[in-house]
Structure 1
Amino acid sequence: MKISVIGAGKYGSTLVDKVARMNFADRVVMLDIVEGLPQGLALDMNQSRPIEGFETEIVGTNTYDATAGSDVVVVTAGKPRKPGMSRMDLINDNAQIVGTVAREIAASSPEAVVIVVSNPLDEMTALFQRVSGLPTQRVVGQAGMLDTARFQDKTAAAVGTKPTAVEAMTLGSHGDTMVPVPSRVRVDGKLLADVLDQGTIDDIVEQTRGGGAEVVALLKEGSAYFAPASAAARMVQAIAGDEGAMMPACAWVTGEFGISDVYLGVPVRLDRRGVGEIVEIDLTDDELADLRRAAEAVRDKQSDIDGLV
């Protein structure tokens, strides 16, 4: 099993470390354009193996040759946000970067399942698929797992319980039209509405939507990478293990929830095919309306990328 991660910044290198420690891959390849950076990081990580007790080999490289034949590729390449920037502010620069990566991956690993994490997420996932020509089933975006984790964390803090006691789901876009789904939240098995008042729930939903900006504002430079890397690592694990595990991801929708022909955050089952299935979970009327509004907003933005690469 070969996993490749494109980009050796904080997100990419943290992801490589997490995936390697899971010990399900034979090799994890880390590629970056900066000479020496991925090689040095790989050497350092490999030397942690006797201490940590994992066997996955980590390879650092500046060329796509070492990534050839990858089973799963994660694209982290791109510029991060700075305070005051929206994810959409990155679209022109990151479109060029992701477009280049898409062509290289299509040539070197044409059978791979690809997870895109570059921002703006929904647009870059659509762009990668269009430029690479890979089947939509095998190109997904990582956003929902991260946004759901933030939803769980904020909910747990409000209730005063452990984050692991909270079940949740976040759909829609990775941005202003994000759709946290309160009706799917369970806290120690109880409905969220039975645990918190509506005003507090509404506040948690807004905090979840602004979770990334909150981290960016505190860091002053760069953006979140620990939780995002954990989210992507879990998706890689599900695909590599052919699990069919259900989780939210940015996927190509073809009629589910009354939505068609757009990349959008929806519940999917991930396996070796990529998106094995989109799962139409029950939503309230308001949540479904929000998801459909998110689809139209994302559709308009994704149409803007056509002329960028």
Structure 2
Amino acid sequence: MRRAKISIVGAGNVGATTAHWCAAAELGDIVLLDIPGEMADMPRGKALDLMQSSPIFGFDSTVIGTNDYADTAGSDVVVVTAGIPRKPGMSRDDLLATNAKIMTMVCEQVKATSPDAVVIVVSNPLDAMVQRAMQVTGFPPSRVIGQAGVLDTARYRTFLAMELGVSVEDICALLMGGHGDTMVPLPSCTTVGGIPVTQLIDEKRLEEIVDRTRKGGAEIVGLLKTGSAYYAPAGATAQMVEAIIRDKKRLIPCAAYCDKEYNVGGYYVGVPVILGTNGVEKIVELKLTETETAAFQHSVDAVKELVSVMAGLV
């Protein structure tokens, strides 16, 4: 049986670590691509290093590094991590102009070489970048998805587990909206061992945890000084790749194209979806509280403004 083909555009920390998780889980054969130039051999070096770990961990996925999009041809899934990283003091919005141009160049190549792929965008600012990827590829919106909700929810669950001293396995949580400061936590959809989180953590403390989640990426940037988060973003991306490759029908939050759904009107925002072989197979519409609805609309408005600014730059 043919193994799935997974191409990862951008061989930096997020891309290489995504390759690592995907290879270790034997999700498919992997192509790690980066641009030619001074560091042209870097993706080949990382791919070879990862392959040499296969006898130790017992995986048979092949991993190759390249600068040529021809090597990615016929991919089942393409993960786009390419773009300049966020630096201390830099907001995701500061990245907009440069990364929009990079996304355009990448997606023109993806469209030409892997016209049937599902595309997962990881580059920031996420909600605008995934919108740009859909515009450039012309793929059905269901096959272009942004990775944000899985990461944000993982951070939220981590902080809740730390607060309560319980296993992360017992925490189920959901966040919606844009990726970043306007993300919307849903306490009504957050439980610990089936118990509503509001019965275990008071409102003030819960809001502090939510605020830390919103600033989770910036906190890590501040600690690292010279880079941004990559273990958790890569793990979240690998979970999405697995859902698609293995048709898992996972119900997880992703940045998905919403038109009539939630009355968004044609933009990518974080919502719960069912993710399978065809990409987003269904957007799950929840009955939000009045407060949650207002917060979600505020988040959607922020995404719309970002996309509008991007339109003037590309």
TM-score normalised to structure 1 length = 0.98
Instruction: Give secondary structure in 2 for the equivalent of 1:224.
Output: coil
Alpha-carbon distance in 2 for matches of 1:276, 1:143: 18
Q: Aligned partners of 2:247 and 2:171: how far apart in 1?
A: 25
The alignment status of 1:304 with 2:306, answered yes or no, reads no
Deviation by residue 1:151-206 (Cα, 9 ceiling, x = unmatched): 00111111121222211011100122111211111112110111011111111111
Extract unaligned runs of 5+ from structure 1: none
**2:131 paired residue number:** 126
In structure 1, distance between residues paired with 2:138 and 2:312: 16
**CA shift at 1:90, angstroms?**
0.6
Find out whether 1:13 has 2:9 as its counterpart: no
CA-CA distance at 1:291 after TM superposition = 1.0
Residue of structure 2 equivalent to 1:31: 33
The match for 1:182 is: 187
Q: What SS is found at the alignment partner of 2:145?
A: strand
Q: Does 1:71 align with 2:76?
A: yes
Contact 1:18–1:229 (CA under 8 A) maintained in structure 2: yes
- Asked whether the equivalents of residues 156 and 162 of structure 1 are also in contact (C-alpha less than 8 Å), the reply is yes
Deviations 1:26-74 (A, max 9, x none): x100001131111111111111111100100001100100000000000
Q: Give deviations 1:77-129, integer Å, cap 9, x for gaps.
A: 01111111110011111111111001000000011000000000001000111
Q: 1:52-201 residue pairs with structure 2 within 5 A?
A: 52-201=57-206
State how far apart, in whole Å, the 2-side matches of 1:260 and 1:242 are.
Answer: 28
Q: Residue in 2 aligned with 1:237?
A: 242
Q: Matches of 1:241 and 1:292 in 2, distance apart?
A: 34
Name the CA distance, whole Å, in 1 between partners of 2:247 and 2:290: 33
Runs of 4+ in structure 1 deviating by more than 3 angstroms, as ranges, are none
- Report if the CA contact (8 A) 1:180-1:208 is conserved: no
Q: Are residue 50 (structure 1) and residue 66 (structure 2) matched?
A: no
Conserved 8 A contact 1:116-1:124: yes
How far residue 259 of structure 1 moved from its aligned partner, in angstroms, is: 2.3
**Pair 1:211 & 2:216 matched:** yes
Q: Distance in 2 between matches of 1:230 and 1:296?
A: 29
> CA RMSD, aligned part only?
1.0
Distance 1:92 1:205 in 2: 29
Letter in 2 for 1:187: V
The question of whether the paired residues in 2 share the 8 Å contact of 1:257 and 1:288 is answered with no
TM-score w.r.t. length of structure 2? 0.96
Report the Cα offset of residue 248 of structure 1: 0.3
Q: Distance in 1 between matches of 2:292 and 2:23?
A: 37
Q: State the match for 1:222 in structure 2.
A: 227
Identity of aligned residues (%): 48
Structure 2 Cα separation of the partners of residues 307 and 207 of structure 1 = 32
Give the distance between the partners of 2:160 and 2:223, measured in 1 at CA.
21
**Is the partner of 2:87 in helix, strand or coil?**
coil
How far did 1:244 drift? 1.5
The CA distance in 1 between the partners of 2:89 and 2:27, in whole Å, is 39
Q: Which residue of 2 aligns with 1:256?
A: 261
1:103–1:132 Cα contact (<8 Å) kept: yes
| Cα distance between partner residues in 2 of 1:120 and 1:258 | 22
Distance 1:283 1:167 in 2: 17
Equivalent AA in structure 1 for residue 196 of structure 2: L
Give the structure 2 partner of residue 274 of structure 1: 279
The 1-side partners of 2:308 and 2:282 are apart by 25
